[in-house]
Amino acid sequence: MSREGVTPQSEDFSAWFNELVVQAQLVDRGPVRGTMVIRPYGYRMWELLQADLDRRIKDAGHENACFPMLIPESYLRREAEHVEGFSPELAVVTHAGGKDLEEPLIVRPTSETVIGEYMAKWIDSHRDLPLLLNQWANVVRWEMRPRMFLRTTEFLWQEGHTAHADEDDAMRETMWALDAYAGLARDLAAMPVVAGEKTPGERFAGAVRTYTIECMMRDGRALQSGTSHYLGTNFAKAFEIQYQDEAGALTLAHTTSWGMSTRMIGGVIMTHGDDKGLVLPPRLAPYQVVIVPIGRKEQGERAVEEARRLGAALKAAGIRVHVDDNRPQLSPGFKFNEWEMRGVPVRVELGSRDIEVGVATVVRRLETVPGQGKEQIPLERLAELLPGILDEFHAFLLGRAETFRDDHTAVVDDWDAFAAQVASGWARAFHCGDPACEDDIKAETAATPRVIASGAPEETGDCVRCGRPSAYGKRVVFGRAY
């Protein structure tokens, strides 16, 4: 262990993550294998993500609803590809109320089936379309190798489900959701995601097309941080989601689904964190600023009084602030290390000498400009200047993550170069599109096709593995993934 309390990333990135989420008081392990208790500090991050995304969802005309957690097994079996894709992950209730159930119940892994059943009841006419629903919920997918935030048996998410008159309208919805996720990742989490389509072998079970946002973590691996699916009429056929068009004919609706989960918090941790602990983007930090009063006895009392006054002023200015004033038994140095571990973007140190000259010492979690990690700012200007400092810190984190991703991404055209590149980053390569070839690549390198990037230039070439012609008209991003 390092003196800061977590294993260095360079020594064991997995151990670093597992130790950090506990020591930074984000989560604790749940009583059932693979479950987690999200502690208040971690849940506040989720609330901030949730509030921003919920606003975007409602602004685009969607309405929130709530559907049952228990789904009849027969519902899933009505869409064969869907149940086959989820079968290994399902948790099934067979006994309740002191007796065996007549029909097994599936603990919600996702809600296309149960929502499809009710879409069919609620849609009669073309005037009922589009139907734009969203649900904030928890889901259960039985994980063999769980990891906090990234792959847990139970996790929190939102799932959008919509029905449309035709493919064009449904595809507009699918791409709207993808853009919303990409915007949320950049604007709130300072995560520079790559957005685009999944290959057929990586599609959501039952989807016609799947789109994703992928971000590179600081160990060079990819994290799928949000997905949006065009389901065509697959679920409409299975659940008879149809409407009477303007000519009076019954027509199948086109449906979509899209989701983002608490996995995004894991992405924030692994995109920005360092050997000292969390590094939180200001717009997702439970505390954007922590004020630490310094001093003993009368001087300490004066510092606490001034810190509380300053905290009230910052709160009035819309800054999430915490005054660390109720732990006199702990030294300032201990508090500094603790708040660094917990990733607070800005720390304000306030001692009697600072008060005498009317300044506070402002310390950023990372130096945005080399040599300028600390600076003294007049007390009366802190409320005015801190919002700009926080915005600069967000921009710094986003730029740093973009540079890291670009430095660890390479264009490759031969197998040996591909295998070497995906060991520590991403490879942009041509691929034939055959799922069997994808499986071969994964078996040899542990890498999978992450995304066919929307903004990538059109190119043709031969598959980096088998030599057959490229299937996509552009290169595919490959990488090892969480």
Residue 260, strand partner residues? 158
pTM, two decimal places = 0.95
**Sign of the C-alpha dihedral, residues 454, 455, 460, 465?**
negative
pLDDT tens, N- to C-terminus, the chain (482 residues): 344 579 999 999 999 999 999 999 999 999 999 999 999 999 999 999 999 999 999 999 999 999 999 999 999 888 877 778 788 889 999 999 999 999 999 999 999 999 999 999 999 999 999 999 999 999 999 988 999 999 999 999 999 999 999 999 999 999 999 999 999 999 999 999 999 999 999 999 999 999 999 999 999 999 999 999 999 999 999 999 999 999 999 999 999 999 999 999 999 999 999 999 999 999 999 999 999 999 887 777 899 999 999 999 999 999 999 999 988 889 999 999 999 999 999 999 999 899 999 999 999 999 988 877 799 999 999 999 999 999 999 999 999 999 999 999 999 999 999 999 999 999 999 999 999 999 999 999 999 999 999 989 999 999 999 999 999 999 999 999 99
How far apart (Å, rounded) are the C-alpha atoms in residues 475 and 430?
Answer: 5
Please, which residues have CB within 8 angstroms of residue 337's CB and are 6 or more apart in sequence? 4, 276
How far apart (Å, rounded) are the C-alpha atoms in residues 192 and 217?
Answer: 10
β 222-232/209-216 pair status: antiparallel
Angle between helices 263-272 and 40-59 (to 10 degrees): 110
**Count of all residues that appear for the chain in the document:** 482
Which residue has tokens 């950049």? 186
Structure tokens, 1: 């262990």
